[in-house]
C-alpha cells in the first residue's frame, strides 16, 4: 500500500516553497551584496542633523532593512546559518568602517550614534531569527 503525502502537511508552518535550485544561491548573493550597499548608505547618513540636534534615522532604518534582508534569505532557505549571511556581511562592513584607513581617516567615530547603529542593525534581525527558530520555522 502506498501512502500519499499532502503538500500542505509535508512542509512546516511558514516554510518557504521550494524554488529553482540555481536561483537560491543567486538570491542569497544579491542579498549579501545588498547588505554591504545599505551599510555604506547607513554610515554615510549617520551624522545627519535636524537643525542643531543629531538625528540618526539611518540607525533605525538599519534594523528594518536588515530584518527584511534576513526575511529575503529565509524565503530561499530553511537554514539559520545561511540566513545569517547578510548579517555577517553587514557586521564585517561595519567593522571595516570602524577602523582607520591608510590615510588615518575613519568613517565611524567613537560616538553614541555608532553604538546605536550597531545595536539597531543587529538586535532586530537577531531577535527575528531567534523567534523564528523557536517557533519551528527554521530547521536546526
Instruction: Please report, for the chain, the start and end positions of each structural domain, with discontinuous segments joined by +.
Output: 29-134
pLDDT at 108: 85
Cell of 74: 529565509
Crossing angle, helix 112-134 and helix 85-98, to 10 degrees? 170
Model confidence, pTM: 0.79
The residues, any chain, with a CB within 8 Å of residue 33's CB and separated by 6 or more, are: 89
pLDDT tens for the 140 residues of the chain, in order: 555 555 454 455 555 665 556 788 899 999 999 999 999 999 999 888 888 888 889 999 999 999 999 999 998 988 888 999 999 999 999 999 888 878 888 888 888 999 999 999 999 999 999 988 887 766 65
Angle formed at CA 14 by CA 12 and CA 15, multiple of 5 degrees: 60
pLDDT at 71: 92
pLDDT at 37: 95
Which SS3 state, helix, strand or coil, does residue 129 take? helix
Amino acid at each position: 500500500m502506498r501512502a500519499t503525502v499532502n503538500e500542505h502537511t509535508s512542509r512546516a508552518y511558514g516554510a518557504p516553497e521550494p524554488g529553482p535550485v540555481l536561483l537560491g544561491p543567486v538570491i542569497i548573493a544579491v542579498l549579501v551584496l545588498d547588505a554591504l550597499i545599505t551599510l555604506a548608505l547607513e554610515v554615510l547618513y549617520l551624522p545627519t542633523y535636524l537643525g542643531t540636534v543629531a538625528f540618526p534615522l539611518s540607525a533605525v532604518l538599519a534594523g528594518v532593512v536588515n530584518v527584511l534582508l534576513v526575511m529575503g534569505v529565509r524565503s530561499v532557505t530553511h537554514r539559520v546559518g545561511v540566513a545569517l549571511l547578510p548579517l555577517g556581511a553587514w557586521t564585517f562592513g561595519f567593522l571595516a568602517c570602524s577602523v582607520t584607513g591608510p590615510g588615518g581617516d575613519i568613517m565611524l567615530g567613537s560616538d553614541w550614534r555608532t553604538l546605536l547603529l550597531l545595536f539597531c542593525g543587529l538586535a532586530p534581525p537577531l531577535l527575528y531569527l531567534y523567534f523564528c527558530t523557536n517557533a519551528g520555522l527554521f530547521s536546526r
